[in-house]
Chain A
Amino acid sequence: MKLEKLLLQNRTIILKRWLDSILESYSSDTKRFLKKQSDQFANPVGQTISKEIGNLFQELLEGVDPARLSPILDRIVRIRAVQDFSPSQAIFFVFQLKGVIRKELNKEIRENRLSDELAEFESRIDDMALIAFDVYMRCREKIYEISANQAKNQVSRLLQRAGLISEVPEWEPHQKETT
């Protein structure tokens, strides 16, 4: 595939532009911090995103394998799922790759008549978006689950003691005594 070669050649610039456009979704004051702070512990958000989009790009070049894409997407989406974004905002970054490629490789694609290949690659991106959506939902469900359990967890032992919840399925002698 010619396009693949082209994408590989322009990997650095595409990833840079992709990262830039993702960071656009943050406040301009935050953007610079996310971009410049390269200590992975002082800046987990920026560093995770910039690292994982590289992995996503690599995966896309090789096809769409949900089993492999899903954990990578998870690392980005998990962060965006708790950052004041609406669902569409949270996974919009996937689609942004399309625009970046079209813009960066516009000339080459036209000159080499690669639009068919591009369409194929873009459909991979669409597939990836679907996976991202699943991941996003999983993260949100997790948050709701954690919130819902929060109250219970805070007094778990008390409830257990009062016989309101029973987490131990088997019969145990001391439990029998208390009930």
Chain B
Amino acid sequence: MNFIIGILFSLVVVGIFVLIPWVGVWAFDLRYLFGIIVPYAAVATFIVGIIIRVLGWARSPSPFRIPTTAGQQKSLPWIKQNKIDNPSGTIGVIIRMALEILLFRSLFRNMSLEFRGGAKLAYEWEKWLWIAALAFHYSFLVVLLRHLRFFTEPIPAFVRWIEKLDGLFEIGIAPFAGFAAPGILISGFILIAALTYLFLRRLYISQTRYISLPADYFPLFLIIGIAATGILMRHMGVFMQFIFKVDWFSVQVVNVKELAMGLVTFNPKIPEGIGTIFFIHLFLVSTLIAYFPFSKLVHMAGIFLSPTRNLANNSRTVRHINPWDYPVHVHSYDEYEDEFREKMVEAGLPVEKMPESQTEDGSGTQEEAEKE
């Protein structure tokens, strides 16, 4: 498997996933299938899949306390412990995990070296990895939360805040009278930029190119596809209609909301006025959701269970139990002494039992005497 095949394969697969709903809706009018059945199936797969995954992990115990200690341990009272990188209690672990999950702290370590080492270019790409990873995950989160507006009525205040924040960079194009472009939401663009960077980086850096699998390219392309179709709908629909008089990307938000609300209230229906592009978007999202539990994307759930991060370094204070512990053969002291007793006595080492030759009368003692 080389990277070219890996990329091509992933591209083709994503392409097929674009074509399926396109052809399905456009040629066969399978709106019900792609608008209702597929999303339900995907969400069901996701929920069941994640539960199976997490339960599967949880079923295997952590027999030993193996946190990676990345700072000073708790020892003597006058030595300052690094409570975050080497936590000895639950609070420390929670902070460590929070920093890891919210700020990708370990990835950040790469970049901090730059300042320490003093070399200018050092670790440059790693700094960008950290930034791109943050940008990707957070913009994705914002996009996700924004979509709550489709699933809730009334729309919660925090969703509106996020939208407002997201649209802070609103360019407010109003080139023609009577035309109001929807505000530009920056998160979608950041998402695509970050994904593009992550893809190019994977390709450009020989080490990552060498280790990358189709399973690494595929989700990148899939999410790029999702973001792209989303942006097309959001920003290009009205535009295209107005300029080119085509309704390729136009989607009536009201109708989409009707569909979404139908889905969440288990009262599904397919309203009119939803373009094919929406079904492509929805199908790609469904694919991602269904693919999630079976792919590396489960790192989102897995990180919470990672034993090198979520355990406190307190195994010298508190006994940690290994649930599958079993008795083992050991070489007991008695066996040891039996083998070496004579030599131990001779060397003046204390023994549990004196050699038979000395305790018994007769020959043993005689031998001793002869030796003397």
Pick out which of these stretches binds chain B: A25-33, A85-93, A102-110, A122-130. Answer: A25-33
Q: Which chain A residues lie closer than 8 Å to B119 at the CB level? A: 38-40
Q: Which chain B residues lie closer than 8 Å to A37 at the CB level? A: 122-123
Asked if A36 is at the interface of the complex by the 8 Å CB criterion, the answer is: yes
CB–CB B206/A39 < 8 A? no
CB–CB A38/B206 < 8 A? no
Q: Total interface residues on B, using CB and 8 Å?
A: 14
B203 → A minimal CB distance (Å): 12
CB–CB B117/A42 < 8 A? yes
Q: Which chain A residues lie closer than 8 Å to B124 at the CB level? A: 36
Q: How many angstroms from the CA of A37 to the CA of B122 in the assembled complex?
A: 6
Question: Which one of B121, B122, B123, B206 contacts A29 once the chains associate, using CB atoms below 8 Å?
Answer: B206
CB–CB A39/B205 < 8 A? no
CB–CB B122/A32 < 8 A? no
Flag B172-212 by CB within 8 Å of A: 1 or 0 each: 00000000000000000000000000000000011101100
Asked if A41 is at the interface of the complex by the 8 Å CB criterion, the answer is: yes
CB–CB A38/B122 < 8 A? yes
CB–CB B121/A36 < 8 A? yes
Q: How many angstroms from the CA of A44 to the CA of B48 in the assembled complex?
A: 49
Q: By DSSP majority rule, is chain B's interface helix, strand, loop, or mixed? A: helix
Q: How many angstroms from the CA of A56 to the CA of B192 in the assembled complex?
A: 48
A43: nearest chain-B partner, CB-CB: B122
A73 → B minimal CB distance (Å): 25
Q: How many angstroms from the CA of A136 to the CA of B117 in the assembled complex?
A: 31
B211: nearest chain-A partner, CB-CB: A29
Q: Which chain B residues lie closer than 8 Å to A29 at the CB level? A: 206-207, 209-210
Question: Which one of B120, B122, B205 contacts A42 once the chains associate, using CB atoms below 8 Å?
Answer: B122
CB–CB B121/A32 < 8 A? no
Q: How many angstroms from the CA of A174 to the CA of B119 in the assembled complex?
A: 55
Q: How many angstroms from the CA of A33 to the CA of B205 in the assembled complex?
A: 8
CB–CB A32/B117 < 8 A? no
CB–CB B117/A41 < 8 A? yes
A77 → B minimal CB distance (Å): 25
B209 → A minimal CB distance (Å): 8
CB–CB B206/A32 < 8 A? yes
Q: Which chain A residues lie closer than 8 Å to B123 at the CB level? A: 37, 39, 42
A170 → B minimal CB distance (Å): 29
B206 → A minimal CB distance (Å): 4
Q: How many angstroms from the CA of A29 to the CA of B61 in the assembled complex?
A: 37
Within 8 A of B (CB), among A34-86: 36-42
A93 → B minimal CB distance (Å): 20
Q: How many angstroms from the CA of A42 to the CA of B120 in the assembled complex?
A: 13
Q: Which chain A residues lie closer than 8 Å to B120 at the CB level? A: 38
CB–CB B113/A42 < 8 A? yes
Within 8 A of A (CB), among B83-124: 113, 117, 119-124
Contact A31/B117 with A37-B122, A38-B122, A42-B122 known, Cβ cut-off 8 Å: no
A21 → B minimal CB distance (Å): 17
Within 8 A of A (CB), among B108-165: 113, 117, 119-125
A33 → B minimal CB distance (Å): 6
CB–CB A32/B205 < 8 A? yes
B112 → A minimal CB distance (Å): 12
A168 → B minimal CB distance (Å): 25
Q: How many angstroms from the CA of A32 to the CA of B205 in the assembled complex?
A: 7
B125 → A minimal CB distance (Å): 8
A51 → B minimal CB distance (Å): 12
Q: Which chain B residues lie closer than 8 Å to A28 at the CB level? A: 206
Q: How many angstroms from the CA of A36 to the CA of B207 in the assembled complex?
A: 12
Q: Which chain A residues lie closer than 8 Å to B117 at the CB level? A: 39-42
CB–CB B207/A32 < 8 A? yes
Q: Which chain A residues lie closer than 8 Å to B122 at the CB level? A: 37-39, 42
* Most A CB within 10 A of own CB, among B120, B125, B207, B209: B207
* Most A CB within 10 A of own CB, among B113, B117, B124, B206: B206
Flag A106-124 by CB within 8 Å of B: 1 or 0 each: 0000000000000000000
CB–CB B113/A39 < 8 A? yes
A176 → B minimal CB distance (Å): 22
Listed from nearest, the 8 A-B pairs whose CB atoms lie closest are: A39-B122, A39-B117, A29-B210, A29-B206, A32-B206, A38-B119, A38-B121, A39-B119
User: Can you name 15 A-B pairs with beta carbons within 8 Å?
Assistant: A28-B206, A29-B209, A30-B206, A31-B206, A32-B205, A33-B207, A38-B119, A38-B120, A39-B122, A39-B123, A40-B117, A41-B117, A42-B113, A42-B117, A42-B122
Q: A37-B123, A39-B119 are in contact. List 19 more A-B contacts (CB 8 A).
A: A29-B206, A29-B207, A29-B209, A31-B206, A32-B207, A33-B207, A36-B124, A36-B125, A37-B122, A38-B121, A39-B113, A39-B117, A39-B122, A39-B123, A40-B117, A40-B119, A41-B117, A42-B122, A42-B123
